[in-house]
């Protein structure tokens, strides 16, 4: 419940931030640069964050990260309300939030198994994704309406207030805390996690697929303001509905996975998602009308949700308890950190060749990678 409220605010801020940057510079390249600032810290700090998650009670880490995110949102709101905000302000604050996320994401994901049993992990991950995408549906639509009526600053203020709900939830839950026994310096513990991944074929293959998807396909979201404003001429409300259409597809997929996911092997489900997502993105790039883009975004959300939730479940179940934080930190590095590279490339390609071409090229590469994984990694398809 805390996550639903908090994610509503987070997606309000993300939608408003993209609109603010595009309004200030009218450049896809700057959208990409702000995206890089927000994701580069994840690339730098995720692995040390994983070691910390294996050493320190996860709830304590999350209380700190959520409080820091609250302060970041209020600072951005103050600058925007004051009329002094500049793109470099947004870049710096995006970098601060990216640093917070580098510690928050692997900790939050690796804590799920401490709240639910191993047998119920797929359902727990799917319900967690359902909560996330419920907030993701409402947040962008609300942001579109509020930007049109009051401007972007109000979205940042509301986001800061919504963190209170998640902080309150963290204050009352009591996860099971496994024994934490550091085996040496941080660099040594990072190497232990990497060595385990290298020796585990399924985990290694899943992480490679996540990296390719992050670099070439997930960064399409960076260009949605350009699609809404220049391609479909839909305005801020149209941008909100585009983000929400993706989230509705993701929520539909999460609910279906919670109810029916046990009927198929995890590997089969993940493989299906790895094909659906890039095909749907090709549909977004080629959409002749705004309504067709919304339909394609719905399918893209369903496909990526299916891929990510099952990959997340596989990576949480596979490692021993004492390495889970480090494995999930590597997943965070590849899932969110590599998007920094993706944001830069999609922003540059979008600047030179247009947003349609940028999304199409990334989707095509991701689709080829899905075919390669299906052909070369049968152990992933057979994963239970």
- How many structural domains are present in the chain? 1
User: Can you give the pLDDT at residue 354?
Assistant: 85
Query: Using CA atoms, how far apart are residues 187 and 210, in angstroms rounded to an integer?
Result: 24
Q: Which domain holds residue 65?
A: 2-175+185-381
Residues in Cβ contact with 317 at an 8 Å cutoff, skipping those fewer than 6 apart: 113, 118, 121
The pLDDT tens digits for 255-305 are: 888 777 677 788 888 889 999 999 999 999 999 999 999 999 999 999 998
User: Can you give the pLDDT at residue 178?
Assistant: 61
Cβ atoms 306, 20 nearer than 8 A: no
Query: Using CA atoms, how far apart are residues 243 and 14, in angstroms rounded to an integer?
Result: 10
User: Can you give the pLDDT at residue 182?
Assistant: 59
Query: Using CA atoms, how far apart are residues 35 and 221, in angstroms rounded to an integer?
Result: 10
Query: Using CA atoms, how far apart are residues 96 and 37, in angstroms rounded to an integer?
Result: 9
Residue 365 lies in a domain: yes
Residue 180 lies in a domain: no
Residue 26 lies in a domain: yes
The pLDDT tens digits for 141-156 are: 888 889 988 989 999 9
User: Can you give the pLDDT at residue 167?
Assistant: 93
Whole-number Cα distances in Å, 17 to 21, 75, 144, 225? 6, 13, 11, 10
Cβ atoms 66, 166 nearer than 8 A: yes
Low-confidence ranges of the chain (pLDDT < 50): none
CATH number at residue 82: 1.20.1250.20
Residues in Cβ contact with 83 at an 8 Å cutoff, skipping those fewer than 6 apart: none
Cβ atoms 38, 94 nearer than 8 A: yes
């Amino acid at each position: 419940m805390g996550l639903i409220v908090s994610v509503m605010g987070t997606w309000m801020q993300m939608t408003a931030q993209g609109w603010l940057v595009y309004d200030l510079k009218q450049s896809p390249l700057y959208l990409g640069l702000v995206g890089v600032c927000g994701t580069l810290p994840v690339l730098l700090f995720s692995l040390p964050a994983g070691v910390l998650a294996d050493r320190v009670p996860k709830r304590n880490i999350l209380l700190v990260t959520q409080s820091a995110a609250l302060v970041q949102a209020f600072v951005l709101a103050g600058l925007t309300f004051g009329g002094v905000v500049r793109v470099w302000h947004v870049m710096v604050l995006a970098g601060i939030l990216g640093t917070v996320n580098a510690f928050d994401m692997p900790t939050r994901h690796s804590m799920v198994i401490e709240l639910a049993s191993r047998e119920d992990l797929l359902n727990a991950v799917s319900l967690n994704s359902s909560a996330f995408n419920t907030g993701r549906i409402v947040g962008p639509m609300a942001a579109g309406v509020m930007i049109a009526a009051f401007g972007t600053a109000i979205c940042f203020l509301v986001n800061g207030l919504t963190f209170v709900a998640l902080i309150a939830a963290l204050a009352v839950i009591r996860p099971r805390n496994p024994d934490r026994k550091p085996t040496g310096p941080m660099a040594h513990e990072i190497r232990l996690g990497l060595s385990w991944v290298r020796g585990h074929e399924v985990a290694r293959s899943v992480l490679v697929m996540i990296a390719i998807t992050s670099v070439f396909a997930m960064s399409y979201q960076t260009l949605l303001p350009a699609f809404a404003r220049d391609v479909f001429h839909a305005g801020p409300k149209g941008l909100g509905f585009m983000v929400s259409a993706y989230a509705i597809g993701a929520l539909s997929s999460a609910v279906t996975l919670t109810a029916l996911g046990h009927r198929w092997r995890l590997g089969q489900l993940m493989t299906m998602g790895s094909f659906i997502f890039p095909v749907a993105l090709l549909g977004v790039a080629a959409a002749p009308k705004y309504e067709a883009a919304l339909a394609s975004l719905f399918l893209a959300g369903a496909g990526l949700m299916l891929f990510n939730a099952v990959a997340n479940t596989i990576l949480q179940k596979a490692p021993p308890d004492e390495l889970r934080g480090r494995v999930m930190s590597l997943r965070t590095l590849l899932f969110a950190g590599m998007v920094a590279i993706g944001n830069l490339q999609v922003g540059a390609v979008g600047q030179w060749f247009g947003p349609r071409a940028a999304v199409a090229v990334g989707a095509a590469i991701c689709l080829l990678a899905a075919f390669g994984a299906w052909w070369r990694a049968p152990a992933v398809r057979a994963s239970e």
